[in-house]
Amino acid sequence: MRHHIEEEIDMIRNGLSKSQNINYYPDIAEFIEPHTMKLSDNVTIRAKMIFLCTSSKPFLPPIKGLEDITNHTSDTILAIDWLPKSIAIVGGGYIAAEYGPSFQAWDQRSQ
């Protein structure tokens, strides 16, 4: 599954980067004023229309002790083939919200 998703993501990136009508910036950026963004390397871009394609790259929050335990991201958790004895899901987005019911269903099937 991951292989197919990565292929599709690469195809989308290729299409965007080769488009003659789009300036593609695969970078972290912030709005600094209307119609103006600053990229992570301090490059400033201005445009009438800015289309944001937010990624879903996992982010490990700075939680004390996190580095001392086995942890997974929304990417790596898909590779496990065993059900953890316990799990804490940290995140407020739709991906985190989807994992709770998924693990509950997996747990019920294994009983």
User: Is 33 in a helix, a strand, or coil?
Assistant: strand
- What is the distance between the alpha carbons of residues 33 and 61, in angstroms, rounded to a whole number? 28
Q: How far is CA 7 from the centre of its chain?
A: 16
Cα(29)–Cα(44) distance, rounded to whole angstroms? 9
Q: Is the pTM of this model over 0.75?
A: no
**% of the chain residues with pLDDT over 90:** 22
In this prediction, residue 2 carries a pLDDT of 67
Label residue 48 by pLDDT band (50, 70, 90). very high
Residue 105's φ and ψ, nearest 5 degrees, are -65, -40
What string of DSSP letters covers 47-60? -S------------
Q: Is the pLDDT of residue 31 over 70?
A: yes
Chain mean pLDDT for the chain:
85
Average pLDDT of the residues in 18-30: 89
Domain ranges of the chain: 2-46, 66-110
The per-residue pLDDT for 37 is 96
* Rounded CA Rg of the chain: 19
Tell me which residue of 72, 70, 78 sits closest to 91, measured CA to CA. Answer: 72
For range 14-34, the mean pLDDT:
90
Q: Which residue type sits at 5?
A: I
Amino acid found at 50: I
Res 68: pLDDT? 93
Give the per-residue pLDDT at 39.
94
Distance (Å, whole) CA 55 – CA 57: 6
